[in-house]
Structure 1
Amino acid sequence: MKSLMPYLKARTVEELWEYHTKLMQSYGFDRLIYAYTCFQSAQSLTNPEDALILTNYPSEYIEAYIGHGLFRDAPMMKWASRNVGAISWRYMWDDPDNTPLGATRRELMALNKRFGITCGYTISFPMAIKRSAAGIGLVARAGMTQNDVDALWEDKGEELEIINQVAHLAITQLPATGQSRILTPRQSEVLELVADGKSVRDIALLLGRKVATVDKHLRGARESLGVETTAQAVRKASVLNQIFIVDPGTQLS
C-alpha cells in the first residue's frame, strides 16, 4: 500500500488534498469530488453552503453541478446519502426510486458526457453523527472504460477504500479548506465559551468586555457562518473546525 504518512502529517486541508489528488491519479482517477456535511435533512440533500466540498473538477462543471443544483438529482450523490461503502458507476443510472428520467437528470447526463465524467467509483463513509454524510466520487481518466475501472477495483478496491477513509478522517480534523479562518479569533473564542455552557453575561465577565460587545461578536460569527442562531453557529463551526483549533506549531503536553 502507498504511504499514508502524508495524511497524518498534513497541517492544512490544502496540503492533504494536493497529496490525495496526486495519489488517486496514480491509480487512474484524475478527478475527485469530496463532500462532508452534518446538516443533511431526512427529506433532502444538504445545502452546498453547509457542506465542506473539495474537488479538482473544472470550475465550469462545478458551477453547473453545484451552483445550479444538479447535484440534487445525481444518482451517485443520492446513493451516497443513503448508503455506506463503495459502488461502481456501472449502476449510475439505475434509479432506486423508479422515477421517470426528468429534464434535470437528462441535463446532468449531458453535462457529465461533455466533461468525460462517465466512468468511476463512489465511496460513502460511515458516520456516527445523525444527519451527517460524507463521500467521494473518483472519476477515471480519459481512455478508461467502466470495465477497466471495475477490474482495477477488483484488484485494488480494498486498498483504495482504506486510503480514502484515512483521507476523510484526516480532513475532518483540519480547518476548512481555502479559508482556514472563517471566523475572527475573537468570534471563535466566544463560540468556544458558548459551547462550554457559558452565558453571554458570563463571557462578558470572563473577557472583561461589555455584553453588547459579546453580542456583536456572536452576531458576526452567525453572519460569517450563514446561520440564524448561536446554537447553529456552534455546530457549524465545530463541523468546519473553526473552534477549539490547535495551532499546528503548538506541541501538546
Structure 2
Amino acid sequence: MKRQRPYLTARSIEDLWEYHTRLMAGFGFDRLLYAYTCFQAGSHFSDPDDALILTNHHPDYIDAYIGNGLFRDAPMTKWAAQNVGSISWRYMNGQLARSRGECAVRDLNQRFNVTAGYTISFPIAIKRAVGGIGLAARPGLTQDDVDAIWRDRGDELETLNHVAHLAITQLPATGQSRMLTRRQSEVLELVADGKSVQDIAVLIGRKPATVDKHLRGARESLRVETTAQAVRKASVLNQIFIVDPGKPLIKEAGRRDRRETLPR
C-alpha cells in the first residue's frame, strides 16, 4: 500500500508518470510506453493524436514507432488491442515477421534494444476504449530474466500498473501537444452542462460570436468536426472539468489545520 499511495496523491499525470517510471525501473523496466484511447474502431487502430500517450523511450524510437505508424504492425500492440491481461514478450520474439511493417518493427526494436519485456492490457468497461502499457527491460536483461522477475513479482507489478492506469484516467494532463485554452475549456464545460451559445455568452459576459469563436478553436485544436465530439475528446483527454493541480486532492487523515494547534 505504501507504494500505491503516491498514485493516489499525485496532482497531475506528469507527477504520477515521473513516480511510476522510477518505480518500474527499480523492478528492471527502465523504458515504458503507455497508451489509452476511447476512439478505437474495431480492429483498426485509432489516430495517435486521439490517444493519451506517455513514454520515456528515446525520442528517435518514438518518432519511428508512433510518428511513422509502426505501432500498427507491432505484435504486442495487436495483442493488447484484442486481449486483457499480461503477456511475456517471448510471444513476440517467437513470431516470424512476415510483412514489411513487422520487419521494420523488429529491426527498430533491435536497434534500440527493446527486445525483452512484458505487456499489460487493462480491462475497460467502455465501448471503443483500449489501454495498455509496454514494459521494456533494461539493457543486459534477457527475456528469461524478465520472465523470472514476473514469476516472482508479477502480481505486484500488475497491481501497480493497474493503479497507475486508473489514476492517469482521472488526472489533468498539462503536457499534451494540443492543449485547450482556459476559455475553450470553460465554454466546452458549459456546453456539456447543456447551455446554449446564448446562455454561455451571458454567463461569461461575451458576445455569442465570441463564444462561437472559442468553440471553433476548441474543435480545431482537438481535430474534430462537431462540438459534441470536442466535448467527448476533451473529457477523455482530461482537459475539461479538471481540478486545479495546485490544490490538494486528498486531505491527510489526522492532519489538523495549523490554526487548530495554536493555544486559545
Please classify the TM superposition score into its range, dividing by the shorter chain length: over 0.9
In structure 2, the residue matched to 1:14 is 14
Normalised to the residue count of structure 2, the TM-score between the two structures is 0.89
Distance in 2, matches of 1:184 and 1:79, equals 36
Q: Evaluate the alpha carbon distance shift between residue 250 and residue 24 of structure 1 in structure 2; reply closer, same or farther with a 3 A threshold.
A: closer
In structure 2, the residue matched to 1:162 is 159
Quote the offset at 1:206 in angstroms.
2.6
Q: Does the 8 Å contact 1:175/1:181 carry over to 2?
A: no
Distance in 1, matches of 2:92 and 2:2, equals 29
In structure 1, the residue matched to 2:72 is 72
Q: Does the 8 Å contact 2:172/2:243 carry over to 1?
A: no
1:99-146 Cα offsets, whole Å, 9 max, x none, are 971111111101101111111000001111110111000001111111
Distance in 2, matches of 1:100 and 1:109, equals 7
Q: Does the 8 Å contact 1:38/1:51 carry over to 2?
A: yes
> Unmatched 5+ residue regions in structure 1?
none
In structure 1, the residue matched to 2:179 is 182
Q: Does the 8 Å contact 1:190/1:214 carry over to 2?
A: yes
Distance in 2, matches of 1:102 and 1:213, equals 51
Distance in 1, matches of 2:15 and 2:204, equals 35
> Unmatched 5+ residue regions in structure 2?
252-264
Q: Evaluate the alpha carbon distance shift between residue 59 and residue 193 of structure 1 in structure 2; reply closer, same or farther with a 3 A threshold.
A: same
SS at match of 1:92: helix
Distance in 1, matches of 2:232 and 2:109, equals 34
In structure 2, the residue matched to 1:50 is 50
**Structure with greater Cα Rg:** 2
Paired amino acid for 1:128: A
1:88-109 Cα offsets, whole Å, 9 max, x none, are 10111566xxx97111111110
1:23-78 Cα offsets, whole Å, 9 max, x none, are 00100101100001111111401101001111111011111101111000111111
Distance in 2, matches of 1:6 and 1:103, equals 43
Structure 1 vs Structure 2: percent identity of aligned residues? 70
Over the residues paired in the alignment, what is the CA RMSD in angstroms? 2.0
Q: Does the 8 Å contact 1:183/1:224 carry over to 2?
A: yes
Aligned pairs (5 A) from 1:217-236: 217-236=214-233
How many equivalent pairs are there? Answer: 250
In structure 1, the residue matched to 2:192 is 195
Q: Does the 8 Å contact 1:52/1:176 carry over to 2?
A: no
SS at match of 1:138: strand
